[in-house]
Amino acid sequence: MGKTKELPQKLREEIISSHLKGLGYKKISKRFNIPRDTIGSIIRKFKTYGTAANLPGRGRKLTISSRALSNLSRTAKKNSRVTARQLQDDMMKAGTSASVATIRRALNNQGLHGRTPRRTPLLTSRSIRSQLEYARRNLDKTTEFWETVLWTDETKLELFGHMDQRYVWRAKGQAYDQKNTIPTELAILPGIMDSQKYQFILKKNVMPSVDKLNLGDHWIFQQDNDPKYTSKSTKAWLGKRCWSFLEWPSQSPDLNPIENLWWNLKKAVAARKPSNITELEAFAREEWAKIPIERCKKFVSTYRKRL
């Protein structure tokens, strides 16, 4: 039998009030469209305990000992990628048995929940120092300054791609602990983009974007440190332009406000289930165009707080 959905406290009180006014079980059942057995149970509880509220100690009891529970919690915190099935195997080796569902509930009760890990680049001590220097250098910059920046970024949309659905056990607020993320190397995919293609994209899009966004004469160009952006030929090409550049720390996609939009874009495109490359590109353009301008402005206006 499935678990019965509990009635809201306010509804329980209305049932008791109707009973105290002299209405019988049948009439109360008809008024609230609730089975007579349920009405009777609520009223009997009121007569016995003087309340219609759920009593403490309700709910399914865990069948795991406090010692086993402590071991589960300690193991999950030490190795956040351990699965409930692996924990079950460990318990069986120690002479204790419990279902996978029971183990999950036990960890949930300890404040540990299975979550998909965040994807972040692998941070080295050098890149961490670089990010810290960037934050200190720009902490006092005003919103007006950030509004003059032309932000750029790159992502990959796959026709039949998906995120590997692994899970980690973590408490609330620990999403970006390094042990709860997937360190990914920044990779260049052959045939997708090289320095020449990148320069062509800049030539075709940068100045029209500056004009369209009304960035003014003192705008600033932002790009990350991908090798094709910092290659000798790209540096030579950029050197011929009278652009100002934002000094960017390595391996820092989380500092780019555009990064906030990628997940939503990919999710929206995937929901439309493109069946070929033409549809993939069309859907991506359409979903990108749907992003509200105000949302983009918000990411820029709150950028200083993110530092």
pLDDT 10s digits, 189-239: 335 678 888 888 888 888 988 888 888 889 999 998 888 888 999 999 999
Distance CA 212, CA 143 (A): 19
Share of the chain above pLDDT 90, in %: 12
> Is residue 2 packed enough to be buried (19+ CB in 10 Å), middle (13-18) or exposed (0-12)?
exposed
Can you tell me the mean pLDDT for 266-274? 86
pTM: 0.52
Give per-residue pLDDT as tens, 165-199. 445 455 555 544 444 343 333 222 335 678 888 88
Supply 33's token pair: 């469209």
Q: What is the pLDDT of residues 64-103, one digit of tens each?
A: 778 888 888 888 888 877 888 888 888 888 777 788 888 8
269 CB-contact burial (10 Å; exposed 0-12 / middle 13-18 / buried 19+): buried
Rg for the chain, CA atoms, rounded? 29
